[in-house]
Amino acid sequence: MERGSFLSRGSSSSLSSLLSLDEKSFLPLPVHQKARIRVPALLGHSLYRRVILWCAAVLSLSCLALFGGIRHPRGAILDWVDLRPTAKDRFEEPHMILVLPAANDTTEVPEGENMPSWLRFRHLNGYFNGLKALVPASDHKPEYPRLSGEESPFPLTVTYTGLPTPTPFVPHPDYESSDYKVKHHKVEPCYLDKDKRIPVPDLYAYHGRVQGQPDPIIGSHSLLGLRDDICFDRFGRYGPYGLGYSYDAGGLEVGLDTERRGSEVVWEKTGKINYDKIGIDWGDAQARCYESNKRRFAGSAERGSPLQQSLRRRERTTIPRQAVVIRAFTGFQWTHHAILNFRAMVSELALRSGGEYQVHLLLHVRNEKEPIWADPVTAQRILDENVPDEFHSLCTLWTEAQMRLLYPGDFGPSVEDPSGMDIHGVYRSAHMALQHFAMSHPEYEYFWNWELDVRWLGNYYELFDRLGIWAKKQSRVGMWERSAKYYIPKYHGDWNSFTDLVRNETHASGRSAIFGPVEFPGKAPLRSETGGKSFLPASCIDGDKSECGVGEDADLITLNPIFDAEESGWVFASDVTGYRLTDPTPPRRCAIVTASRLSRRLLEVMHEETWRMHHTMFSEMFPASMALHHGLKAVYAPHPVYIDRKWDLDSVDQAFNGGRDHSAGGHGSPFDLRNEHNHKGTTWYYNSEFAGLLWRRWLGYAQFDGRGTNGGRSGEGTLRGGREEEETADSTGRLCLRSMLVHPIKFEHPSELE
């Protein structure tokens, strides 16, 4: 596979050639998988055929509307599609009994005295079982985590009767439901092309879980409202966006070199979408989508005159818009896999939601000498050289020189400056560019700061939407203390027990829980605070505070604990600039990995602190510390994180909550330079080794399994997985995983290593 061949691909061809697409793509989506109508054979005339199909579709849709079906509150199609395997008509094969063996532990190391936890335990195998071992979620027995004394479920047997069939997974609200329509403005569907012929495709999921697959060790699907009774393979996830078919067919050619039995199902309804012929322009598609839906959103000038409004019987709620700001930079190598990921983001977040989200690429132009504002030809050349054509219209260019201009003046000394880098530079102050972006985009209420080397195995809308909803439900009482601790469900019990536990631990520590703005020597008020304004909602000001913050949208949602940086041993804990050095360093909070959601008002606070007070802190620390100082609502959302080895649960808690008062902060923090290695076996941390391994196995490429003497490391051991292994008759097939975030993904196709 050629890398970067996007540059050489031809420009868009004429739209008329689209008409060669399978005509099925213009029919309404079949509502019921099994009811595949065979009558067309009887009705030769295609007009009659269409009329009958349309009638049937309209009839079944109205039945659904009338009788409701079994609707998920969020309208997931999976809930009313028949999920019994229909694959038997596709693949004739004998029933098989698959035996999933117990892990072969003999290559593992004995416990060494100095062996760190993440290398000390035996590897788990259940992640690598495939689709043939799919079982209903209720029958699923995880290899891990287990309480001490709980027996291994292996060996496990699975009866295999043929490949299961995936179905569309739609985590968006049911925009056509009467419930939605009563409360909201109508949602106009969005299309990939200008002629509104090609609807945005849905991704596909399998119903069930793969037998033996471990459960997440940290965080929880069900707590956050993420579906955990479904799994995704590479074709269901990315097939709609161009994985699994050739350039000739308008695909990206990736995935053809992997096992792909039964993958055709994914394109049955839409055909293989020819992104080349569409001449896909994602920014333009987003703009069209927003334009046809702008009445839906808060702050829109188009909501009609007061007279028109008073004539309406019901006021419909408008919803806030959210920007997804991907931090790109010049020199980034755009691979076909990266293109798939960003196509998925725009489709799932922006187009499929009727413009609720909008994806932006905030492109850091590293060469400050480029006259990007003076000369459009230069700006265009930078885009041409650094970003695939289809994403050009999503880009906003910026430079560090621009930050020096926007935030002029003396920032004063830093408490410590371990990196020695420029205070306006992206390394220490990545937030500056985001602050400016937010100030110049008043149309958005929330901003997801997102990184190029993050992947979400699942539908992005489900992730972003559910995190926002969950965070909104959280109380501000005990919020900072809960957010400072990793949630390990198998060890801590349910969320109520966890909340109780943290309350008890806070009490036992003798410190009082943080509530509202934090005072410290040298603190200066914001303009709004001088005017007597507070960021606390009314529910926190009087009464018993039991509902304090409940129902309030979060100002900061992070994906790792928000820990106390003081004495944490985190390298940049004292990279704090602009405060009087004669005062104690202000209290700080930090969350590693900058992928997070920030509210407009948090960014306004950060902006004012930067330009007016010349305060800043290292990138991972500034947002959370500003929320702490000014009493904004900040939560860590415990999303599901998996681990590669069979740690005992006590060790997990000791390693990840080994900081002060059983938290992830202060002395003993897992973010201490000496402790960070514990994250290497997880699926989510900047130095994770397991994230890439698991992701590439899921993509269908063989990987060294990391098993070997002295605990084994990344790149050691035996090559496992990949096409040859997945295609053998006794293999369980390609991987199907529950949704998860993976980071960092530094490469995807094996050729990128060459």
Ligand X SMILES: *[C@@H]1O[C@H](CO)[C@@H](O)[C@H](O)[C@H]1NC(C)=O
Where on the chain is the footprint of ligand X (CB under 6 A)?
Answer: 104, 106-107, 497, 500-501, 504
Residue type, 286: Q
Return the structure tokens found at 328. 């790109």
Q: Nearest distance from residue 689's CB to ligand X, in Å?
A: 21
**Nearer Cβ to ligand X, position 104 or 309?**
104
**Nearer Cβ to ligand X, position 503 or 545?**
503
Nearest to 501 by CA among 491, 492, 510: 492
**Nearer Cβ to ligand X, position 25 or 107?**
107
What whole-number distance in Å separates Cα of residue 356 and Cα of residue 337?
A: 25
Q: Are 331 and 386 in contact (CB under 8 A)?
A: yes
**Nearer Cβ to ligand X, position 17 or 504?**
504
**Nearer Cβ to ligand X, position 101 or 551?**
101
What whole-number distance in Å separates Cα of residue 89 and Cα of residue 91?
A: 6
**Nearer Cβ to ligand X, position 104 or 534?**
104
Q: Nearest distance from residue 267's CB to ligand X, in Å?
A: 38
What secondary structure, in 3-state letters, does 14-30 show? Answer: CHHHHHHCCHHHHCCCC
Residue type, 475: S
Within 10 A of 669 (CB to CB), how many other CB atoms are there?
A: 30
DSSP state letters, 179-248: HHHHHBPPPPP-BSSTTS-SBPPPEEEEESEETTPPPPSBS-HHHHT---SEEB-HHHHHGGGTTTS-TT
Within 10 A of 301 (CB to CB), how many other CB atoms are there?
A: 6
Which segments of 296-394 does DSSP mark as H helices, in order? 306-311, 336-345, 376-386
Q: Nearest distance from residue 496's CB to ligand X, in Å?
A: 9
**Nearer Cβ to ligand X, position 16 or 106?**
106
What whole-number distance in Å separates Cα of residue 161 and Cα of residue 87?
A: 9
Q: Are 471 and 659 in contact (CB under 8 A)?
A: no
Q: Nearest distance from residue 709's CB to ligand X, in Å?
A: 11
Q: Are 95 and 658 in contact (CB under 8 A)?
A: no
**Nearer Cβ to ligand X, position 453 or 500?**
500
Q: Nearest distance from residue 682's CB to ligand X, in Å?
A: 25
**Nearer Cβ to ligand X, position 154 or 247?**
154
66: CB partners within 8 A, 6+ apart: none
Within 10 A of 7 (CB to CB), how many other CB atoms are there?
A: 12
Q: Nearest distance from residue 106's CB to ligand X, in Å?
A: 4
What whole-number distance in Å separates Cα of residue 296 and Cα of residue 273?
A: 29
Q: Nearest distance from residue 649's CB to ligand X, in Å?
A: 15
What whole-number distance in Å separates Cα of residue 680 and Cα of residue 687?
A: 6
DSSP H/E element including 439? helix 426-439
DSSP state letters, 60-123: HHHHHHHH--S--TT--GGGGS--S--GGGT-----EEEEEPPP--TTSPP--TT--HHHHSPB
Q: Nearest distance from residue 26's CB to ligand X, in Å?
A: 52
Q: Nearest distance from residue 509's CB to ligand X, in Å?
A: 13
**Nearer Cβ to ligand X, position 123 or 597?**
123
**Nearer Cβ to ligand X, position 692 or 721?**
721
Q: Are 461 and 436 in contact (CB under 8 A)?
A: no
- CA dihedral (393, 395, 396, 398) positive or negative: negative
- Residue 67 phi/psi, 5-degree rounding, is -95, 0
Nearest to 452 by CA among 214, 742, 176: 742
Q: Nearest distance from residue 102's CB to ligand X, in Å?
A: 9
- Burial status of residue 347 (CB atoms within 10 A of its CB: 0-12, 13-18, 19 or more): buried
Q: Nearest distance from residue 539's CB to ligand X, in Å?
A: 25
**Nearer Cβ to ligand X, position 106 or 582?**
106
Q: Nearest distance from residue 100's CB to ligand X, in Å?
A: 12
**Nearer Cβ to ligand X, position 157 or 504?**
504
Q: Nearest distance from residue 384's CB to ligand X, in Å?
A: 52
Strands of the sheet containing 203-207, edge to edge, are 167-169, 203-207, 230-231
**Nearer Cβ to ligand X, position 678 or 703?**
703
Residue type, 592: I
**Nearer Cβ to ligand X, position 309 or 504?**
504
Q: Nearest distance from residue 222's CB to ligand X, in Å?
A: 19
What whole-number distance in Å separates Cα of residue 308 and Cα of residue 324?
A: 33
Return the structure tokens found at 628. 């702490």
Q: Nearest distance from residue 122's CB to ligand X, in Å?
A: 12
